[in-house]
Amino acid sequence: MSSFEQTLKSDIDLVNEALDKYLQVTDSDYGKVIEAMRYSVMNAGKRIRPVLTMEFCRLNGGNKKGALACACAVEMIHCSSLIHDDLPCMDDDDLRRGKPSCHKAFDEATALLAGDALILKACEVIALSDTKKSVATKAIGILSSLAGTEGMIGGQVIDLASEGKKIDADTLSKMHSLKTSALIRSACCMGAVCADADEENVKNASEYGEYLGLAFQVIDDILDVVGDEKQLGKPIGSDEQNDKTTYVSLFGLESAHKKAEQYTNKALSILDKYEGSEFLKELTKTLLKRNK
Amino acid sequence: MSSFEQTLKSDIDLVNEALDKYLQVTDSDYGKVIEAMRYSVMNAGKRIRPVLTMEFCRLNGGNKKGALACACAVEMIHCSSLIHDDLPCMDDDDLRRGKPSCHKAFDEATALLAGDALILKACEVIALSDTKKSVATKAIGILSSLAGTEGMIGGQVIDLASEGKKIDADTLSKMHSLKTSALIRSACCMGAVCADADEENVKNASEYGEYLGLAFQVIDDILDVVGDEKQLGKPIGSDEQNDKTTYVSLFGLESAHKKAEQYTNKALSILDKYEGSEFLKELTKTLLKRNK
């Protein structure tokens, strides 16, 4: 295992262990909803957001473990959005990472409540952690605003409104920035905040997250056209089927690849400002080449 | 207007004004979800929870306005739960307070996202308020845990699991304690915490909320049998129709009335410990006599 793979594995192990502790079934009368939360959270996701939180903490001179509560919180918000996105009234997806989506494995009401409970749990774990109070409030402020209407949820609303109609490049870019980058930005910024970083370093974290998120979303669009269904764990071609405007539908595959590379390079150039950013650079490049 | 009515009106006015400020449409691209949040929040609800937050702050020697962010937060969580409760996969209610429920006035996806966004906004307004950081984290911890799986959501899960089957008095009581009392407890405890109250006073706030919540729920059960549909803004008889176990179905109307009075008296006895609790006593009694 390379040193990069080792660090990635040790970060992910830390996150998985903490998530497992946060999501324990304590009472059988309402255990079902916690089982549904666990089903969606403990499913071997890529854990990109929590890894970013921990690594941006380290990059700014902090201790990774001190950012663990925030790292788990952003992953919980992410998983909540996936559960709710899959519901029949949203994308109506039966599969998620090759397994039945939460409302298929349980039922719609339980999936709805599991998503709600994950949002609350995210704020709870930060608030009740031993993170310094001034850092915890800052982190909760960042996470809740960038996941909310001015961030991820705002992007989902634009996404819903865009279904079945052509949108222009600016709207598409705004949608991606809100829907995908905002939460990734929150992950990076919370990490920096956990290390008591100053405004400039938090801004760097935010910009890195913005570019990485945009690259991430363009690659998602590409994989929906040329991806391997088995690797992805979901059917491809859904964007075209739903008549969705994507980077690929607007500019073609080749331009989309170039765009993803441009965004990735912009993210990398921010990391150039930091010593000890080799791991994050490798992670950034790996995400450009991902096939799932 | 009596002095009680004046205080109640001024508390409610404060809350409504603050909620209005927190929920401004800032961007027309995703304004629809904020409109949906406003539709459900700015609807002349009884505002019991936020009033309790402000009054428990005052009762413990604090300034009401210092608890306004927490007061609005608990109301947002409450409204979020109503929006999600009304969805087809939950109670499937078309009416809420005499108006089309959120997913009827908008659509299911928007209602789902509006509920999610209200949970996030609740944590955001506390985190970004000028509340002391140690108080803000404590308040977010209280609100998110008592609204989550170990509180309100846990109660909703038991409620769903109980549909169409007889449950015993203990399970019913546990369900009411979680589903209704937990959030009311959070309202009272946050108020006390905003006044830097010590453990004993926070415990008093919690116990008061527990009893008031139980009384509140028994009265809800009674109104579902004998209430006036116009006053309630929703059809009565839904519990019986859904074959739901309620205090009334288990013990009859007369016992239910007595039970509500007992709980109310227990709540009042806690207020006896405080000087200046006349307003809260009056509110507690008023809720026992409510017809909507």
Burial code of A178-213, b = ≥16 C-beta within 10 A, e = fewer? bbbbbbbbbbbbbbbbbbbbeeebbebbbbbbbbbb
Compare all CA atoms of chain B with the CA of A174 and give the residue at the minimum distance. Answer: B29
DSSP bridge pairs for A99: A96
Chain B residues lying within 8 Å of A80, measured CB to CB: 116
Report how far residue A41's alpha carbon sits from residue A23's, in angstroms, rounded to the nearest whole number. 9
Do the beta carbons of residue B14 and residue B68 sit within 8 Å? Answer: yes
8 Å CB contact of A140 and B134: no
Mean pLDDT rounded to a whole number for chain B = 94
Do the Cβ atoms of B136 and A138 come within 8 Å? Answer: no
Q: Which of A87, A137, A156 sits opposite B133 (nearest CB)?
A: A137
CB contact under 8 A, A30 and B154: yes
Distance spanning both ends of chain A, measured CA to CA: 20
Do the Cβ atoms of B140 and A153 come within 8 Å? no
Q: What is the per-residue pLDDT for A242?
A: 72
The C-alpha atoms of residue B175 and residue B169 are separated, in whole angstroms, by 10
Alpha-carbon gap: B23 to the closest alpha carbon of chain A (Å): 10
Q: How far apart are CA B243 and CA B241, in angstroms?
A: 5
ipTM of the complex: 0.96
Predicted pLDDT of residue A72: 98
pLDDT tens-digit series, residues B111-162: 999 999 999 999 999 999 999 999 999 999 999 999 999 999 999 999 999 8
Residues of chain B contacting residue A150, judged by C-beta atoms under 8 Å apart: 26-27
- Is the separation of the CB atoms in B5 and B19 below 8 Å? no
The residue with greater pLDDT, B97 or A103, is A103
From A175, which residue of chain B is nearest by alpha-carbon distance?
Answer: B29
The yes-or-no verdict on residue B168 having pLDDT over 80 is yes
Residue A165 backbone zone (phi > 0: left; psi -120 to 50: alpha; other: beta): beta
In this prediction, residue B32 carries a pLDDT of: 97
| Residue A58: CA count within 13 A, CB half-sphere | 19
Q: How far is B223 from chain A (nearest CA, A)?
A: 25
Which residues in chain A show pLDDT less than 70?
Answer: none
Residue with tokens 């634009």: A158
pTM for the full predicted model = 0.96
- pLDDT of residue B43 exceeding 90: no
Q: State the residue for tokens 């279904």.
A: A163
Q: What contacts B126, CB < 8 A, 6 or more positions away? A: A140, B69, B70, B73, B136, B139, B140, B143
3-state helix, strand, coil split of chain A in percent (to 5) is 75, 0, 25
| Digit-coded pLDDT (tens) for B218-247 | 999 999 888 777 777 777 777 777 778 888
3-class DSSP state for residue B171?
A: helix
Q: Which residues of B touch A153 (CB under 8 A)?
A: 30, 33, 113, 116-117, 120
Supply the pLDDT for residue A226.
Answer: 84
Residue A275's region, left for phi above 0, alpha for psi from -120 to 50, else beta, is: beta
> Cα(B203)–Cα(A214) distance, rounded to whole angstroms?
48
pLDDT in tens, A218-260: 999 999 888 777 777 777 777 777 778 888 989 999 999 999 9
Residue contact A150–B174, C-beta within 8 A: no
What is the token pair recorded at A287?
């995400």
pLDDT of residue A233: 72
Quick one: average pLDDT of B77-81? 98
Distance (Å) from the alpha carbon of B220 to chain A's nearest alpha carbon: 22
